[in-house]
A and B are shown apart, each in its own frame.
Chain A
Amino acid sequence: MSSTPMTSRGLAPVWRALKKNRGALISFWFLVFLTTVAVFAPWLSPHSPTQVYTEHFRSPPVWMSGGSFEFFLGTDDLGRDLLSRLMYGARVSLAVGLMVVSLSLSVGLVLGVLAGYFGGRLDSLIMRLVDILMSLPSILLAIVIVAVLGPSLTNSVIAVSVVSLPNFIRIIRGAVMAEKMKSYVDATHGFGASHFRVAVLNILPNCMAPIIVQATLGFSDGILNVAALGFLGLGAQPPTPEWGAMLSDSRAYIESAWWLVTLPGLCILVVVLSFNILGDGLRDALDPKLKGRL
């Protein structure tokens, strides 16, 4: 499935492919910027995200009348600085995306390689599991899992990872199956290589292209779903500055304080959009066969 074996040259071809796509490149640099903000949030943010300023309930952003530079994007219903909370929110969301992708990728790798490499009964069993997971609406399954584990940010990450798992398994399985047909696999077996060696050291590195693409798109799915759970009150709990939870907290002020409703959602949209553009760009570049697939 992959046309470019990437192991020997590391990530250089990925970067070269990316450089040709302006949208993907802009998204990439934006995400680098956002990561920097997230990492250095304690030093960059003007206020603490949980500090309550009792004299500044829902004060508007600086460009509106009544706004001040002290609270650049205004304050929320408890008098906390919105800009600082959004910056810390970037921290939460990016960490969430990373955790969801790492969890579902690692489990997906094991199950996907097992299914794709050995086929047969094991494959049917794993794919049956995938079918079951996929015939439930993702958010519904995540909600049920969170209900079992109890609402918290960590549990919503676990729930969303379970929900994202089928995509990873399917893509890895497909890539491994396609690669397994090739003659170098038979040749390596001929040299007496073990199954583990062939599957992990020979086949897997050649399946990197679809995996990289799926991991990138997994970030956007993960961030979106965790934010949705946060919005439903099943994810991050107060006072954690998570964008989805911030949105649901400010729903009551939709008529009086539009910035509280608009800005956290805009952050979610921009981050999800960036990962989607980046993922699309990577797919077009690395995996021409998948071009245009959704």
Chain B
Amino acid sequence: MLSVIGRRILSSLPTLLGVSVVAFFLIRLVPGDPVLLMLGERGSSPELYQQMQAQLGLDRPLAEQYFKFLSQVVRGDLGTSVVSRRPVLEEFWGRFPATLELSLVALLWAVLLGIPLGVWAAVKRSTLWDYSLMGGALVGYSMPIFWWGLILILVFSVGLGWTPVSGRISVWHEVEVITGFMLIDAWWSEDGFEAFLDAFRHLALPALALGTVPLAAIARMTRSSLLEVLREDYIRTAKAKGLRAQQVVLGHALRNALIPVITVIGLMGGTLLTGAILTETIFAWPGIGRWLVNSIMARDYPVIQGGVLLVSAVIILVNLLVDLMYLWVNPLLRDKL
């Protein structure tokens, strides 16, 4: 088992290395001179320009710059943001919990609602229930979430006045950052439950928007996977034994049907991060997505390069965990990896 894990980790290293090459060289192609951009406000003289260039290491050959970057990455140094002058890794850790919290809550409601809906559609196969649920799932799956977010704001914030439009918590609550998860930190703050509720109201709409596509995907996958399992012989046996339909579906079939669903959920990492970029933009959510978009607009080289690397590392890590979970669920696969 350990050797399998080791092999899987090793085999994801070349991909990560490839991502670092892509991130590094793609950024170097961006038009616009970061040195000029930084000097812009203060006016520049040739001496100052050269000094700044040397300071940033931008006067060295590209290959040398890349290997320097790589050797620093290995030591956990992803460079310093040109805009905020803070280490990229520090900036990342400051924002990652916000994105993680948003994604986890979005995924949670997608799973909690998606699986039962998928089961219901499969059980009620070819009825109006099935058609309307799967029709709804297809709509959810096709949803442009940047528009969906605006519609949710239009209905729940502008129309009903239930939720705030942006941010993670109202300014008057003083919440000390302990875990970085606002829901948890707010709970332990001075205002306690009231702050928690406030944080939840801030989180509700973005999580709803972000969870919609995963919800639809999970419901569709659960339905089709369950229908497939229900055709198996052992299901006929279970029915022949005289078990109630409920026991057959929930006790026997669902467990096996959930294996492909788990894969789909695991592969949601990329979908959620992509969605987070758009969701965070709409709801002014201070997470990774908005940070990266803003850095691209500001041509903050080190942040884009380090951020892209970190984000793909997260995705690769999530995929790795899903693979390992798979092995744990199904020992028969162990030889195959």
| Chain A interface (Cβ < 8 Å from any Cβ of B) | 128-129, 131-132, 134-140, 143-145, 147-148, 150, 220, 224, 227-228, 231-232, 244, 247, 251, 254-255, 258, 261-262, 264-266, 268-269, 272-273, 276-277, 280, 291-294
Whether A132 and B22, one on each chain, are in contact in the complex, defined by CB atoms closer than 8 angstroms, is: yes
Q: Enumerate chain A residues within 8 angstroms of B147, measured Cβ to Cβ.
A: 231, 247, 261, 264-266, 268-269
From B316, which residue of chain A is reached at the shortest CB distance? Answer: A135
Say whether, besides A132-B18, A262-B154, A269-B147, A139 and B278 are in contact (CB < 8 Å): yes
Interface string of B237-279 (1 = CB under 8 A from A): 0000000000000000000000000001000001001100110
Q: Report the minimum CB–CB distance from B149 to chain A (whole Å).
A: 10
Whether A147 and B30, one on each chain, are in contact in the complex, defined by CB atoms closer than 8 angstroms, is: yes
Stretch at the interface among B49-57, B72-80, B185-193, B220-228: B220-228
Main secondary structure of the interface of B (DSSP, over half): helix
Within 8 A of A (CB), among B172-201: none
Whether A135 and B19, one on each chain, are in contact in the complex, defined by CB atoms closer than 8 angstroms, is: yes
- Can you pick out 28 interface pairs between chain A and chain B where the beta carbons lie within 8 Å of each other? A128-B18, A131-B15, A132-B19, A135-B312, A135-B315, A135-B319, A137-B315, A138-B274, A140-B274, A143-B296, A144-B23, A144-B26, A144-B27, A145-B26, A147-B304, A148-B29, A148-B30, A227-B144, A227-B146, A231-B278, A232-B293, A265-B150, A269-B142, A272-B142, A276-B142, A292-B220, A293-B224, A294-B264
- Most chain A CB neighbours (cut-off 10 Å) among B143, B147, B281, B292: B147
Q: Enumerate chain A residues within 8 angstroms of B221, measured Cβ to Cβ.
A: 292, 294
Q: Report the minimum CB–CB distance from B224 to chain A (whole Å).
A: 3
Q: Enumerate chain B residues within 8 angstroms of A135, measured Cβ to Cβ.
A: 15-16, 19, 270, 312, 315-316, 319
- Most chain A CB neighbours (cut-off 10 Å) among B27, B227, B270: B270
Is residue B325 contacting chain A, with contact meaning CB distance below 8 A?
A: no
From B17, which residue of chain A is reached at the shortest CB distance? Answer: A132
Q: Enumerate chain B residues within 8 angstroms of A144, measured Cβ to Cβ.
A: 23, 26-27, 296, 304, 308
Is residue B89 contacting chain A, with contact meaning CB distance below 8 A?
A: no
Measured CA separation A131–B12 after assembly (Å): 9
Q: Enumerate chain B residues within 8 angstroms of A276, measured Cβ to Cβ.
A: 138, 141-142
- Most chain B CB neighbours (cut-off 10 Å) among A128, A132, A244, A272: A132
Whether B277 and A139, one on each chain, are in contact in the complex, defined by CB atoms closer than 8 angstroms, is: yes
Measured CA separation A231–B147 after assembly (Å): 9
Whether A150 and B31, one on each chain, are in contact in the complex, defined by CB atoms closer than 8 angstroms, is: yes
From B304, which residue of chain A is reached at the shortest CB distance? Answer: A144
Whether A262 and B277, one on each chain, are in contact in the complex, defined by CB atoms closer than 8 angstroms, is: no
Whether B292 and A140, one on each chain, are in contact in the complex, defined by CB atoms closer than 8 angstroms, is: yes
Q: Enumerate chain A residues within 8 angstroms of B144, measured Cβ to Cβ.
A: 224, 227-228, 244, 265, 268-269, 272
From A132, which residue of chain B is reached at the shortest CB distance? Answer: B18
Whether B146 and A244, one on each chain, are in contact in the complex, defined by CB atoms closer than 8 angstroms, is: yes
Measured CA separation A138–B276 after assembly (Å): 12
Whether A273 and B138, one on each chain, are in contact in the complex, defined by CB atoms closer than 8 angstroms, is: yes
Within 8 A of A (CB), among B1-17: 14-16
Is residue B209 contacting chain A, with contact meaning CB distance below 8 A?
A: no
Measured CA separation A143–B153 after assembly (Å): 25
Q: Enumerate chain A residues within 8 angstroms of B228, measured Cβ to Cβ.
A: 292
Instruction: Given contact pairs A268-B144, A269-B143, enumerate 10 new A-B contacts (beta carbons under 8 Å).
Output: A128-B18, A132-B22, A135-B19, A135-B319, A139-B278, A144-B23, A224-B144, A244-B146, A273-B138, A276-B138
Measured CA separation A95–B308 after assembly (Å): 30
Is residue B158 contacting chain A, with contact meaning CB distance below 8 A?
A: yes
From B21, which residue of chain A is reached at the shortest CB distance? Answer: A132
Whether B153 and A254, one on each chain, are in contact in the complex, defined by CB atoms closer than 8 angstroms, is: yes
Measured CA separation A228–B148 after assembly (Å): 12
Q: Enumerate chain A residues within 8 angstroms of B141, measured Cβ to Cβ.
A: 276
Q: Enumerate chain A residues within 8 angstroms of B150, measured Cβ to Cβ.
A: 247, 251, 254, 261, 265
Q: Enumerate chain A residues within 8 angstroms of B133, measured Cβ to Cβ.
A: none
Measured CA separation A150–B312 after assembly (Å): 23
Q: Report the minimum CB–CB distance from A135 to chain B (whole Å).
A: 5
Whether A140 and B158, one on each chain, are in contact in the complex, defined by CB atoms closer than 8 angstroms, is: no
Measured CA separation A148–B224 after assembly (Å): 41
Is residue B48 contacting chain A, with contact meaning CB distance below 8 A?
A: no
Whether A136 and B312, one on each chain, are in contact in the complex, defined by CB atoms closer than 8 angstroms, is: yes
Closest 9 CB pairs of A and B: A292-B224, A265-B147, A132-B18, A137-B274, A273-B142, A272-B142, A137-B273, A139-B274, A135-B312
> Which of A138, A265, A293 touches B151 (beta carbons < 8 Å)?
A265
Q: Report the minimum CB–CB distance from A108 to chain B (whole Å).
A: 18
Whether A280 and B315, one on each chain, are in contact in the complex, defined by CB atoms closer than 8 angstroms, is: no
Measured CA separation A152–B222 after assembly (Å): 40
Q: Report the minimum CB–CB distance from B320 to chain A (whole Å).
A: 11
Is residue B62 contacting chain A, with contact meaning CB distance below 8 A?
A: no
Whether B277 and A140, one on each chain, are in contact in the complex, defined by CB atoms closer than 8 angstroms, is: yes
Say whether, besides A136-B19, A147-B30, A269-B144, A277 and B138 are in contact (CB < 8 Å): yes
Measured CA separation A247–B282 after assembly (Å): 12
Whether B154 and A292, one on each chain, are in contact in the complex, defined by CB atoms closer than 8 angstroms, is: no
